[in-house]
Amino acid sequence: MKPKPAVAKVDHSPMGKLIFEYGAAFLAKHNIDFPLHDWEFLIADVPQQKGNDECGVFACMFMEHWAGHIPSEYKETWHLEPHVEHQRASIAGSLLQWKYNKVRNVILEEANEWAAYKEKGKRS
């Protein structure tokens, strides 16, 4: 069975306009001179999540793959259903191993305790 791409054609223009208006209000409130109205708001046909808990994975992957432009097509497979869980685990592993992670040892200890608990349950 061929995996289905998690692509949806959704018009996000109302949300984009809301974000744009919020940005303009923020700039005005803080007296920041920025040519926000010169920017063009565009709606791109890009992969989108299907589930309610995939937005973080999609946001991280877009940041990783975006190179200042939106590709005309996606050749990567990270947005296909079977690969989203792999990407989630990969991101978690990267965050765990990040050199500035101050709680790495605590997380690893908890994971080891959980693994030992699960193993003990299998033997019973």
80 vs 87: CA distance, rounded Å: 10
59 vs 49: CA distance, rounded Å: 10
Give me the residues of the chain with pLDDT under 50, please.
Answer: 1-9
Nearest 5°: phi and psi at 113?
Answer: -65, -40
Task: List the chain domain ranges.
Answer: 13-123
Q: Is residue 61 exposed (0-12), middle (13-18) or buried (19+ Cβ within 10 Å)?
A: buried
Q: What is the pLDDT of residue 103?
A: 93
Closest to 86 (Cα-Cα) out of 119, 113, 116, 61: 61
Average pLDDT, the chain: 77
Please say whether the dihedral angle defined by the alpha carbons of residues 50, 55, 60 and 64, taken in this order, is positive or negative.
positive
Q: What is the pLDDT of residue 76?
A: 67
